Structure 1
Amino acid sequence: MTGYFTRWRSFWAAASLICLAGGIAPAVAQAPVLAPLNPPQTVKVAYVPIMKFATAYVAQSRGLFQKYGLDVKMETVKSGTEAIAFLDKGTVDAGGISIVASLWTAWNRGLDIRVIAPGALDPMKDGPTKLIVRKDLIDSGAVKTIADLKGKRIAAAGGPGSGGEYFVSKALEQAKLTIRDVQLLNVGNADMPAAIEAKSVDAVLLSSPYSDQIVKAGTGVLLVQDITPGLMTVAFVGSGKFVKERPEAAERFVLAMTEAARLMQGADYLSQANVDAYLKHNPTTVEAIRSGSPGIYDPNMAIPFDGLADLERVHRENGRTEYDKPLDLAKVIDARFVNKAVELLGKAPAN
């Protein structure tokens, strides 16, 4: 992996020096591999402002959308559910959303939106999502392994069908348990440190900074981490109207984000131009960006079919869908745009 990042870093560094010598911003100076749309087309994007959609932030801030003749309007929303409503109505063209249980039922019913590109994938190591157990249960020997969570109260934000439930389910699978073997409680992330201290829950599924708060307070102990390395829990989706009626715009939208992903590899992830883009579109801090574990921004933007199939399976087996047979992923994914981007740019070196 080090060699891979080094090759990409050297390539982009050389390209940047050439561009800067001419007084042109690096992202704009590279000749487009696909002719820009003329006249430019407006693309409305609704997104939840989190780092997992950072390829869009970089593409917007570094002129990549503009390079392909796209006038991209980025509109923040409070939740993926809100974005889905806009996409379904056709009032926005694309969105950055979380893949939650209700989506699978909606797709089964005929919801006309498609996954057209991945968001960031979870890190392969030292990921942010952690399952933490009360320290007194560890000290007493009541909980030594995941298997000992049977019958215990586990808190996860979002409750039934949420991403939290999925992570808990995947952790329990390691001990051949299901969510039916535990008491799953819907508790907000910010309330979990107090719940652990009050002993109103036995374990919590959460991320930084709250997980760090619990461990530092000495009230909880990390039981399992890296539950689903490389998982895609968020994605860029396109409305049916967008991908069917304006495929040229959708193609360039994904192409620009693929180029952005290639500007975010290795040490370049923290380049000043990229950090500026992150801060412009996401209410975070430089310190949080630099200290956090970055997700995987795949330079080939491959849509992980197997991971999506597993998400669907777990929600279905947990009884969170209105159907009981595996869903045809053709109702969910349209991979032609990421495939076209790689065809035009060439495949990035393997990790």
Structure 2
Amino acid sequence: MLTACGEDTPAAGGSCAGSEVTVGITNSSSDAPLYIADEKGYFKDEGLSVKLQPFDSAAKMIAPLGSGQLDVGAGAPSAGFYNAVGRDLPIRIVADKGSMPEHYGYMPLLVRKDLVDSGKVGEIADLKGRTVAEPAQATATSSTLGTMLGSADLTYDDVKHEYIGFAEHVTAFQNGAIDAALTTEPSATVAEERGVAERLATPPDFYDQQQLAVLLYSGTFAEEEKAVGTCFMAAYLRGARDYMSAFENGKLREGERSDEVVDIVTEAVGLEPALYRKIVPNYVDPDGQVNVESLRKDYTFFKDQGLLQADVDVDGIVDSSFATAAVGKLGEYQQASS
């Protein structure tokens, strides 16, 4: 069995030599496996020339992925994504890119600190009628919030919704514009350090292993470049394994390998290393497995909310063949020892 942290034997890459792959990124920390694979030469080991193309959001990648102008991209299982697929855009979900099992709840539920200090909000039930921020309407975050509210016998519509980008949540707390928010890292930690919010709950306690972000292949790339798709996946999973091996139970390990991951990711996304060391990281499955049950659950939430324009076969757009083939080349992942 092969171990993690870049000790997988590089693939021969002969069948992929000289192939070019264009990859959409959002310059977020969840792009870590891509940055690591690029910086450590894993794509080159597979014979690939990879261009990382920044986008303002994952949603803006959908059209170029559907047209084949972009080979690989990030995705969020939102209502907008499923509506695009429902318009026959050929896009495949091929691997995990960001999920939230225990210890990896990187999108905590925050509450404005003055509400906590005054005793007005001490549990989820106290959010009834209050304003809760999410990054956008009809995203997987909405399903997260719906599940967490449901634990207190509240519905999604029992709170007021404010849709603002994660990076703006800190300012919104400071201005008193919101009472609570589901906020991803590093903004969650920044809000705490500035004393404007406190963590009320972590999603894995209510919705274990939610699939928040996925790796996507365009239909053209998946169908016409199968060998290249497998080569790309092998390099991506080597990056994911290095990334996950830097953590244990959501905390950075000590040592040069973890330091290397910190250096690569913070350099790529422009974060201070000291801040990155404090945040709760997202999980990326080292074998690329996607939580299809979570996708189905969120899809049902969107449907119940009347947000879908057409029915989509969720299972039909998940293609695990590339991850399976890549694991066949690399061997199954083994967690590095402490």
- Normalising by structure 1, what TM-score? 0.81
Question: Given the alignment of the two structures, is residue 176 of structure 1 paired with residue 161 of structure 2, yes or no?
Answer: no
* Cα offset, 1:283, TM superposition: 2.5
* Cα offset, 1:299, TM superposition: 1.9
Match of 1:47 among 7, 25, 30: 25
Between 280-289 and 103-112, the greater mean CA deviation after superposition: 280-289
1:110-149 residue CA offsets vs partner (Å, 9 max, x unmatched): 2201011211323522633222334554456544432232
2:323 paired residue number? 338
The one of the two structures with greater contact order (alpha-carbon pairs below 8 A, sep at least 6) is: 2
Question: Given the alignment of the two structures, is residue 152 of structure 1 paired with residue 130 of structure 2, yes or no?
Answer: yes
Matches within 5 A, 1:194-343: 195-196=172-173, 199-208=176-185, 210-212=187-189, 214-215=191-192, 220-227=197-204, 228-264=207-243, 265-266=245-246, 267=253, 270-323=257-310, 327-343=312-328
Match of 1:102 among 66, 80, 94: 80
Distance 2:332 2:23 in 1: 26
1:165 paired residue number? 142
The answer for unaligned runs of 5 or more in structure 2 is: 247-252
2:250 paired residue number? none
Distance 2:308 2:123 in 1: 30
2:38 paired residue number? 60
* Cα offset, 1:305, TM superposition: 1.0
* Cα offset, 1:255, TM superposition: 1.2
2:71 paired residue number? 93
**CA 1:296/1:270 → structure 2, altered by over 3 Å: closer, same or farther?**
farther
1:114 paired residue number? 92
Identity %: 26
Distance 2:169 2:285 in 1: 32
Distance 2:163 2:118 in 1: 26
Distance 1:38 1:157 in 2: 38
Letter of the structure 2 residue corresponding to residue 258 of structure 1:
L
Distance 1:97 1:105 in 2: 13
Letter of the structure 1 residue corresponding to residue 134 of structure 2:
A
2:62 paired residue number? 84
Question: Given the alignment of the two structures, is residue 347 of structure 1 paired with residue 332 of structure 2, yes or no?
Answer: yes
Distance 2:21 2:149 in 1: 42
Distance 1:211 1:274 in 2: 21
* Cα offset, 1:74, TM superposition: 1.3
**CA 1:31/1:219 → structure 2, altered by over 3 Å: closer, same or farther?**
closer
- Kept in 2, the 8 Å contact 1:263–1:269? The answer is no
Distance 1:137 1:85 in 2: 42
Structure whose CA Rg is larger? 1
Distance 2:192 2:218 in 1: 42
- Normalising by structure 2, what TM-score? 0.83
* Cα offset, 1:319, TM superposition: 2.4
- Kept in 1, the 8 Å contact 2:10–2:42? The answer is no
1:132 paired residue number? 110
The answer for unaligned runs of 5 or more in structure 1 is: 1-6, 16-26
* Cα offset, 1:212, TM superposition: 4.4
Distance 1:311 1:244 in 2: 27
Distance 2:291 2:70 in 1: 25
Letter of the structure 2 residue corresponding to residue 116 of structure 1:
V
* Cα offset, 1:219, TM superposition: 5.2
* Cα offset, 1:100, TM superposition: 2.2
SS at match of 2:69: coil
Letter of the structure 2 residue corresponding to residue 298 of structure 1:
D
Distance 1:310 1:98 in 2: 14
**CA 1:95/1:221 → structure 2, altered by over 3 Å: closer, same or farther?**
closer
